[in-house]
């Protein structure tokens, strides 16, 4: 089934083509001239455009060339009379897929549309591949040296072999989307689309429309049919980032889609089969959200088939300098930029609450401050020391005359450390400058 735009100024001919294609299950949109069609194509993707060559306002050839200038890729089939065959042939030299001459048989139209659908799929896959290559070239590589991240990569490679749902957990800035893309690329679906969706960034009123699509007239402003992300990701992978922020009504519909492998567009009645692998990610504790009734338990179990946890940067300090060097290489635009020994030590001593995202931002700032010397020094990173000053206990602490309740202070520090590290005891111990063994002893004393 294709989403086809018919551009024809003659109403009878336009409706005739629409009827032929609708009878074979295709979705149809109509425009009476090239100018109207241009607006529609810019707002919504179409699998095929069938257009007459001779039209008022903007003819088919002008529409075709305007879209090429805007780098909007869409397969064209031209409808041409005998007098304009030469123009149609010229358009095919420029990239049009095919043309049909008036009058034409229904069989000829359907055959041309089916052949063009194959071209449409190739164009879409090439566009997606180009985006993926740009992502890798722009910092999309996974840089690591530590054993915790090596274990994450091994686990990601293992889960990629199965088509089950994956839940990636980790703090903000740890690289959850990078791991999701890696799982997709090494999976059997790696040659198909990877469609990322940030659930927290979508307006609550539009979540269902974005994920499942909508029919024309489904709500105010829905002036045409729109495919959702599930349909768009057919055959590939749908990545739902910040899944914990998905509204409750969308959670119910998502669960049904995952179980029945069909979607129902907003305002529609048809059950549309979908085949997309689901990878979810969250920086929140979904188990706690389930306990509080803020996330559906059945959906949690459905998406948490294959869990992958990405450790924060403070738990893999060995990765800090390699990531920093990689960021400098990307940001330096070919100019070699090095880290001084002092800068490396400073980077490794910082806690990085913002994880990899904060580290990359710090390298961009340091690159401006290093004044073209080709070396990032500890001085250029002095802002990190200032940010980290409040992590150290003050040296000049004075015991008040009234004394303090040391046990209460220790209990409060332990509680805060656990909350800051999502109850990871190793990371919490590091925050307090303790070994994990001493931290556990402290915890046991407090629990008594």
pLDDT tens string 347-392: 998 999 999 999 999 999 998 887 777 888 888 888 885 554 444 4
Q: Where in the chain is the domain with CATH 1.10.10?
A: 406-447
- Give the model's pLDDT for residue 91: 67
Sign of the torsion angle spanned by Cα atoms 118, 119, 121, 125: positive
Q: At 395, is the pLDDT very low, low, confident or very high (cuts 50, 70, 90)? A: very low
Quote the Cα angle for 440-445-448, to 5°.
125
**Per-residue pLDDT tens digits for 197-222:** 999 888 878 888 999 999 888 888 88
Q: Where in the chain is the domain with CATH 3.40.50.2300?
A: 3-132
- Give the model's pLDDT for residue 368: 85
* pLDDT, averaged across the chain: 84
CATH architecture of the domain with residue range 149-311: 3-Layer(aba) Sandwich (3.40)
Q: How many CB atoms lie within 10 A of CB 433?
A: 11
- Give the model's pLDDT for residue 385: 59
Residue 140 has pLDDT above 60, yes or no: no
Task: Please state the rounded mean pLDDT for residues 45-50.
Answer: 86
Q: What SS3 string covers 311-356?
A: CCHHHCHHHHHHHHHHHHHHHCCCCCCEECHHHHHHHHHCCCCCHH
Residue 414 has pLDDT above 90, yes or no: no
Q: At 46, is the pLDDT very low, low, confident or very high (cuts 50, 70, 90)? A: confident
- Give the model's pLDDT for residue 1: 66
Residue 138 has pLDDT above 60, yes or no: no
Please state, in angstroms and as integers, the Cα–Cα distance from residue 76 to each residue in 36, 51, 93, 119, 356, following that order: 16, 7, 12, 10, 44
Alpha-carbon distance 382 to 180, whole Å? 34
User: Does the predicted TM-score (pTM) go above 0.85?
Assistant: no
Residue 137 has pLDDT above 50, yes or no: no
- Give the model's pLDDT for residue 81: 74
- Give the model's pLDDT for residue 391: 47
- Give the model's pLDDT for residue 411: 84
Q: Where in the chain is the domain with CATH 3.40.50.300?
A: 149-311
Alpha-carbon distance 1 to 448, whole Å? 67
Task: Please state the rounded mean pLDDT for residues 430-441.
Answer: 78
Please state, in angstroms and as integers, the Cα–Cα distance from residue 30 to each residue in 16, 41, 94, 130, 354, following that order: 11, 11, 24, 30, 49
In CATH, 314-391 is 1.10.8.60: yes
Q: Where in the chain is the domain with CATH 1.10.8.60?
A: 314-391
Q: Which fold has domain 406-447?
A: Arc Repressor Mutant, subunit A (1.10.10)
Q: What is the CATH number of domain 3-132?
A: 3.40.50.2300
- Give the model's pLDDT for residue 202: 86
């Amino acid at each position: 089934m294709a989403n086809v735009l018919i551009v024809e100024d003659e109403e009878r001919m336009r409706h005739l083509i629409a009827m032929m294609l609708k009878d074979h299950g295709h979705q149809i949109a109509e425009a009476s001239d090239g100018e109207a069609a241009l607006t529609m194509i810019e707002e919504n993707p179409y699998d095929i455009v069938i257009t007459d060559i001779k039209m008022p306002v903007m003819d088919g050839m002008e529409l075709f060339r305007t879209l090429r200038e805007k780098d909007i890729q869409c397969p064209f089939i031209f409808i041409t009379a005998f007098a304009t065959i030469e123009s149609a042939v010229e358009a095919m030299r420029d990239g049009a897929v095919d043309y049909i001459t008036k009058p034409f048989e229904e069989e000829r139209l359907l055959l041309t549309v089916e052949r063009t659908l194959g071209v449409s799929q190739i164009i879409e896959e090439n566009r997606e591949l180009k985006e993926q290559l740009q992502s890798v070239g722009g910092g999309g590589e996974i840089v690591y040296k530590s054993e915790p991240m090596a274990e994450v990569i091994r686990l990601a490679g293992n889960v990629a072999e199965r088509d089950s749902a994956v839940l990636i957990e980790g703090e903000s800035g740890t690289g959850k989307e990078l791991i999701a893309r890696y799982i997709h690329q090494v999976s059997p679906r790696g040659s198909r689309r990877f469609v990322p969706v940030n659930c927290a960034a979508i307006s609550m009123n539009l979540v269902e429309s974005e994920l499942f699509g909508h029919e024309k007239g489904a709500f105010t402003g829905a002036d045409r049919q729109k495919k959702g992300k599930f349909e768009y990701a057919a055959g590939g992978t749908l990545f739902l980032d910040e899944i914990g922020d998905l509204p409750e009504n969308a959670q119910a519909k998502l669960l049904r889609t995952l179980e029945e492998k069909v979607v129902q567009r907003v305002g529609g009645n048809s059950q549309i089969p979908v085949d997309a692998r689901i990878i979810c990610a969250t920086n929140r504790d979904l188990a706690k959200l389930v306990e509080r009734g803020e996330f559906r338990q059945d959906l949690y179990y459905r998406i948490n088939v294959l869990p992958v946890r990405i450790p924060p940067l403070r738990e893999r300090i060995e990765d800090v300098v390699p990531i920093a060097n990689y960021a400098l290489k990307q940001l330096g635009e070919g100019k070699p930029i090095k880290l001084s020994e002092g800068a490396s030590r400073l980077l490794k001593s910082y806690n990085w609450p913002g994880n990899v995202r904060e580290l990359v931002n710090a390298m961009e700032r340091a690159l401006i401050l290093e004044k073209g010397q080709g070396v990032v020094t500890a001085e250029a990173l002095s802002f990190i020391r200032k940010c980290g000053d409040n992590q150290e206990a003050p040296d000049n602490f004075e015991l008040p005359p009234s004394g303090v309740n040391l046990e209460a202070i220790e209990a409060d520090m332990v509680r805060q450390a656990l909350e800051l590290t999502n109850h990871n005891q190793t990371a919490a111990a590091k925050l307090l400058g303790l070994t994990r063994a001493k931290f556990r002893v402290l915890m046991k004393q407090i629990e008594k």
